[in-house]
Amino acid sequence: MTDQNTQHPLAMLDSTRAFIAAPRRMLIDGEWRESETGETIDVINPADASVLCRVPGASERDVDLAVRAARRAFDDSAWSRMKPTDRERLLLRAADAIEAHAREFAELEALDNGKSAAVAEALDVSMAAQCFRYMAGWATKIEGSTVDASIPYSPSNAYFGYTRKEAVGVVGAIIPWNFPLLMAAWKLAPALAAGCTVVLKPAEDTPLSALRLGELLQETGFPAGVVNIITGYGRTAGAALAKHPGLDKIAFTGSTPTGKAIGHAALDNMTRMSLELGGKSPVIVLPDVDIERAAEGVANAIFFNSGQVCTAGSRVYVHEKVFDRVMERVAAIADSMKLGPGLDPSTQIGPLVSARQLDRVLGYIDAGHAEGARAIAGGARGDGTGFFVKPTVLVDTDHSMRVVREEIFGPVLVAMRFSDTDAVVKQANDTPYGLGASIWSNDLAQVHKLIPRIKAGTVWVNCHSLLDNAVPFGGFKQSGFGRELGRAALDMYTETKSVLINHA
């Protein structure tokens, strides 16, 4: 195990340095503003706990201004008169602009979230650009249907019916800190493709890439008020947005408890909602696997993004015939991973996002030990002032333990053995969550039998947490409702209007 922190300066672009050199402002109605209360939030570098810069802490009044601006932009601006092809063109330009600034975005994510800049550039940033490009295509393909009506109690008239898919209106979007730019893209791109306007609130821990995106969207030519970006705490700005009666829809990604609070607030105004929430995703390893390939897959499923992934494969069930060999190899991979700051190209595991998250994850590791679990890798904090946790593998675990039942959202894997397929299905589904799952095997018959029995929004086979803009994503059970990405995303940002015409 090698630990490292940011005692040495790491190279970054001049543009990245310039972006964090001054306090940032938030975007309301096409203008960059302070909070009207003057409140600010320190943005912390999780690799060394230093302050990177400051952003405004939006108040309820700031949120109200942003929602009103979005409403004006939706009701009577050039945006509402824009043709689908023009929206498509703007979204395509936004994709190009993200790509043109890929390295800068990756560095901002590394500084702000802690993740590897190299991985962020290859994954987060390219997927975000691709999301805008993919959704651009849908702007011109939003269609209703035609209906030949035969209304029995009005036989002498002739009716023609059709449906229109109309933009739902003003969208409030609240996003988490684990994939800041990508989550902003997942919300903005489909909403804008459908013709909505948006008030986006990034997480207080990671506001920088969303603010940089706001600048690029302005340069791209989105009219004032179409995209508003407010920075602020969840309990103040987030809560004010969720309960604002001026919203038509709220789109949220984050933890299940926060999602429930937002859902309750939204329901009071009958605000449409989509919620992408937590997970405790099972990884099932069948006995026919190649040990090395399965072990690498299991390790990636949990340690990618330091385990801060809603679909992280945080519970692994390995067939007893291969359990010892697979888990020994997973532990060796965990021990070999290099901890370090995201800007260091050799880093394999970055810090957790915040001191709060560090305490939370270490608390779970302690709870695991107290309940009888045994760490065969990691199990402790990394060295240095940053928020590092060593990649941890816990064995001797069972379903009575908190580490098995609750979402940890860190690099902590719990491993259990199984001998019988029915039993493993029961265990995999023994969770309030249902976001993702993976099965590792080349036994097609077994795999196809398992897929329909797993209660999860996505089942991966011989891979884990892979996403594609064309494949819908979302959760069963307490992992939320609604589907992002794919054609399904458009349904979340449109209302169906039915029209009946009497043409007798």
Tell me the catalytic residues: 276
Give the residue at shortest CB distance from ligand ADP. Answer: 234
Which strands make up the sheet holding 494-502, listed edge to edge? 146-149, 159-167, 494-502
Residue of the chain from 139, 213, 242, 437 that contacts ligand ADP (CB under 6 A): 242
Neighbours of 456 (CB within 10 A): 24
Q: Strand, helix or coil at 275?
A: strand
Q: Are strands 412-418 and 392-395 parallel, antiparallel or unpaired?
A: parallel
Q: Residue 477: which of 421, 417, 428 has the closest Cα?
A: 428
Classify the phi-psi angles of 485: left when phi > 0, otherwise alpha if psi is within -120 to 50, otherwise beta.
left
- Taking CB under 6 A as the criterion, which residues in 288-327 touch ligand ADP? none
Please tell me the distance from the alpha carbon of residue 409 to that of residue 356, in angstroms, as a whole number. 12
Q: How far is the CB of 53 from ligand ADP (least distance, A)?
A: 18
Please tell me the distance from the alpha carbon of residue 259 to that of residue 474, in angstroms, as a whole number. 13
Is position 210 an interface residue for ligand ADP (rule: CB under 6 A)? no
Is position 261 an interface residue for ligand ADP (rule: CB under 6 A)? yes
Using the rule CB under 6 A, give the single segment among 63-71, 171-179, 361-369, 393-401 that binds ligand ADP. 171-179
Is position 174 an interface residue for ligand ADP (rule: CB under 6 A)? yes
Is position 269 an interface residue for ligand ADP (rule: CB under 6 A)? no
Cα of first residue to Cα of last residue in the chain, in angstroms, is 80
Q: How far is the CB of 242 from ligand ADP (least distance, A)?
A: 5
Is position 255 an interface residue for ligand ADP (rule: CB under 6 A)? yes
Is position 204 an interface residue for ligand ADP (rule: CB under 6 A)? yes
Residue of the chain from 203, 208, 361, 393 that contacts ligand ADP (CB under 6 A): 203
Please tell me the distance from the alpha carbon of residue 69 to that of residue 72, in angstroms, as a whole number. 5
**H/E stretch holding 394:** strand 392-395
Q: Are strands 197-201 and 50-56 parallel, antiparallel or unpaired?
A: unpaired
Is position 421 an interface residue for ligand ADP (rule: CB under 6 A)? no
Q: How far is the CB of 41 from ligand ADP (least distance, A)?
A: 10
Using the rule CB under 6 A, give the single segment among 258-266, 398-406, 433-441, 490-498 that binds ligand ADP. 258-266
Nearer to ligand ADP, 95 or 239 (CB): 239
DSSP code for 451: G
Rg (CA), the chain: 24
Q: How far is the CB of 431 from ligand ADP (least distance, A)?
A: 18
Neighbours of 499 (CB within 10 A): 12
Is position 351 an interface residue for ligand ADP (rule: CB under 6 A)? no
Using the rule CB under 6 A, give the single segment among 136-144, 170-178, 207-215, 493-501 that binds ligand ADP. 170-178
Residue of the chain from 71, 93, 201, 319 that contacts ligand ADP (CB under 6 A): 201
- Taking CB under 6 A as the criterion, which residues in 97-126 touch ligand ADP? none
The binding track of 127-166 with respect to ligand ADP, each residue x by CB under 6 A or -, is ----------------------------------------
Strand partners, 51: 44
DSSP code for 222: P
Strand partners, 24: none
Q: How far is the CB of 258 from ligand ADP (least distance, A)?
A: 3
Nearer to ligand ADP, 56 or 176 (CB): 176
Please tell me the distance from the alpha carbon of residue 247 to that of residue 236, in angstroms, as a whole number. 17
Q: How far is the CB of 239 from ligand ADP (least distance, A)?
A: 4
Residue of the chain from 254, 297, 340, 386 that contacts ligand ADP (CB under 6 A): 254
Is position 180 an interface residue for ligand ADP (rule: CB under 6 A)? no
Burial-class residue 428 by CB neighbours within 10 Å (0-12, 13-18, 19+).
buried
Q: How far is the CB of 25 from ligand ADP (least distance, A)?
A: 18
Please tell me the distance from the alpha carbon of residue 352 to that of residue 342, in angstroms, as a whole number. 11
Residue 495 C-beta-side C-alpha neighbours within 13 Å = 14
Q: Strand, helix or coil at 12?
A: coil
Q: How far is the CB of 331 from ligand ADP (least distance, A)?
A: 27
Is position 176 an interface residue for ligand ADP (rule: CB under 6 A)? yes
Q: Residue 387: which of 3, 47, 1, 5 has the closest Cα?
A: 47
Please tell me the distance from the alpha carbon of residue 315 to that of residue 298, in angstroms, as a whole number. 9
The binding track of 222-241 with respect to ligand ADP, each residue x by CB under 6 A or -, is ------------xx--xx--
Is position 41 an interface residue for ligand ADP (rule: CB under 6 A)? no
User: Which residue ranges make up the site for ligand ADP (CB under 6 A)?
Assistant: 174-176, 201, 203-204, 234-235, 238-239, 242, 254-255, 258, 261-262
